Structure 1
Amino acid sequence: MLELHCHTTFSDGTLTPTQLVETAVQAGVRALAITDHDTFNGWEEAIGAAAKYDLEIVPGLELSTVHNHCSLHILGFYPNPQLLREPLQERLEGRKRRAQRMLEKLASLGYPLTLPEMGEGIAPGRPHIASAMVKAGYVQSSREAFDRFLRDEGPAYVHYEKFSIQDGIALLRSCGAVPVWAHPYLFRGGAVEEVLRELVEAGLMGVEVYHPSQSPQQQERLRQLCKEYSLLETGGSDYHGPTFEGSHSQLNMWHLPLSLLEPIKAAAQ
């Protein structure tokens, strides 16, 4: 009944916050985290939409950092939006600069492209570019766009602007948020055990144990590490919507108990 990793149209999800709330209710979710990439602009709409249901909105975001030259995502739960607004604006501008550089690379490869207008506070990313490539007829699917052009180190790939795990965790902690390492086994910049040690030293408070990319054996290993380091356990479907290409996640797929949320609330400042 607990879902702690979801995206909306304010980043790379395909459902608006209102649509996500309605879908979550239908799936039996009782507490839903809105964790868009580098923005919290979907919270207000989600909270308003959830008011008529028995659904609690958990305010969050998924912060993009760079570690060992690879992208590492950190979920942050219950941040103070007033303290986060200005730093996140710079992260949002960085995402826009990154997207523009990828468009320039694609143009140099013979695939000129213009992204559709995005609303205020929406963070552009590779999925938006992939969708635009499909609409332009350059590729048959978003998966093809990633495989041929946008994958890590692909011909049109651009690294995130430098923002270390130490900087990211410090930012979240300074805003009262609970920082949690998202989908550890998707990280390609080092062994989970070694990277986790660095994250804990930087102030990490939790690990996303339950994620569609992680096997039962990996989940068990993460549970052991959480006990070893006294870290909070979280989980979610990383839901991007029913029409998000290549995604096999479903809302409430883990049927996580609401009791997992209480220590997270208690840890938030």
Structure 2
Amino acid sequence: MLELHCHTTCSDGTLTPEELVQVAIAAGVKAMAITDHDTLAGCERAIAAAGTQLEIVPGVELSTVHRGRSLHILGYYPDCSKLEPALQDRIAGRRYRAQAMADKLAELGFPITLPEMPGDTAPGRPHVAQALVEAGYVTHPQEAFTRWLGEGGPAYVAYDSFSAIDGIRLLLACGAVPVWAHPYLFRGGTVATVLPELVAAGLMGVEVYHPNHSPSDERKLEELCDRYDLLITGGSDYHGPATDKTKTGVALNGLQVPLSLLPPLKAAAAKLKMAAIA
């Protein structure tokens, strides 16, 4: 089976790339994408760990903004040498954001110590939430989101203004196939009205199969992909063993995404590479 949306400790996952590979092999996954937030740091490590036992699809999940709300774009098979310099700015922005949330919490009377992370690790709100747990202010990360870190909360800090349109164009310029992640989690407009805007910017696919999508959602997305001639992808959005409610709670390979979705994605990536050469 196929997994096209997974996270490691290089962003907000709980398993290292090497551990994730072993879990995937044990779960019967045949091909898996590493899509950490705004970093490619886990891809090469996963490829080395997988050897011939598991096919690794290099990827990233870009944090962007559209219509003033958070919107994530997955990018598959990027030219890492082109994309990595741009991602350094995104990682720097994430570090600034995490510190800004920590500063707000301190002003509210809840000082925390952020975890030490290597330079290519992309921090996020789950790291801040875990720091609140370790400081003893809450017993569960979800409580941290409910009280302080949720969008609009007293310690929430928005992403840097990096538009989804610019994100799609960046991925295309780096040879990556851009795909809209979990569209029905977007809160800035209906999927039917937002999708044409992203397609006009060069979007090539939609994540149809996701734990937060109902069967009805999936059918609607399949119809839209057919209408706009878009690739269909899917994945569990796996962050590691489900230990808190901020994760999807779906086991790796839990969605049973068919492996038949991978060849069209590969073909699209190859077409981008050929166009870049030409």
Distance 2:243 2:175 in 1: 32
Distance in 2 (CA, whole Å) between partners of 1:215 and 1:257 is 17
Structure 1 CA distance, aligned partners of 2:263 and 2:235? 16
Per-residue CA deviation, residues 40-67 of structure 1 (Å, 9 max, x unaligned), is 000111001100x421000001000011
- After TM superposition, the structure 1 = structure 2 runs for residues 141-160 of structure 1, keeping only pairs within 5 Å, are 141-160=140-159
- Compute the displacement of 1:120 (Å): 2.5
Do the aligned partners of 1:6 and 1:240 also contact (CA within 8 Å) in 2?
yes
**2:28 maps to which residue?**
28
Letter in 2 for 1:64: S
Aligned twin of 1:256? 257
Matches for 1:2-41 after TM superposition, within 5 Å: 2-41=2-41
In the alignment, is residue 171 of structure 1 matched against residue 170 of structure 2? Answer: yes
CA contact (8 A) 1:14 1:244 kept: no
Alpha-carbon distance between aligned partners in 2 of 1:244 and 1:196, rounded to the nearest angstrom: 33
Report SS of the residue matched to 2:60. Answer: strand
Partner Cα separation in structure 1 for residue 188 and residue 162 of structure 2: 15
CA distance in 1, matches of 2:90, 2:257: 31
User: Does the 8 A contact of 1:14 with 1:243 survive in 2?
Assistant: no
Shift of 1:255: 1.5
In 2, Cα distance between the equivalents of 1:120 and 1:99?
14
- Residue number in structure 1 paired with 2:275: none
Q: Deviations over 1:144-177 (max 9, x none)?
A: 0000100011110011000011100000000000
Deviation readout 1:62-120 (Å, 9 max, x if unpaired): 00001121110000000000000111000110111111111111111001111021112
Structure 2 letter corresponding to 1:55: L
Is the deviation greater in 110-119 or in 8-17? 110-119
Is the 8 Å Cα contact of residues 13 and 244 (structure 1) preserved in structure 2? Answer: no
Contact 2:39–2:121 (8 Å) recurs in 1 = yes
Name the residue aligned to 2:109. Answer: 110
Counterpart for residue 203 of structure 1: 202
8 Å CA contact retained: 2:210, 2:236: yes
Name the CA distance, whole Å, in 2 between partners of 1:43 and 1:241. Answer: 16
Where do 5+ consecutive residues of structure 1 fail to align? Answer: none
TM-score for the superposition, normalised by structure 2: 0.95
Deviation at 1:140, TM superposition (A): 1.2
Q: Which runs of 4+ in 1 moved over 2 A?
A: none
Greater alpha carbon shift after TM alignment, 236-245 vs 156-165: 236-245
Deviates more, 1:150-159 or 1:241-250: 241-250
How far the C-alpha of 1:258 sits from its partner, in A, is: 1.5
1:221 matched to 2:220:
yes
Give the 3-state SS of the residue equivalent to 1:155 in structure 2: coil
Partner residue of 1:86? 85
Quote the sequence identity (%).
63
Q: Structure 2: how far apart are the matches of 1:6 and 1:245?
A: 17
Q: How far apart are the structure 2 equivalents of 1:240 and 1:32?
A: 13
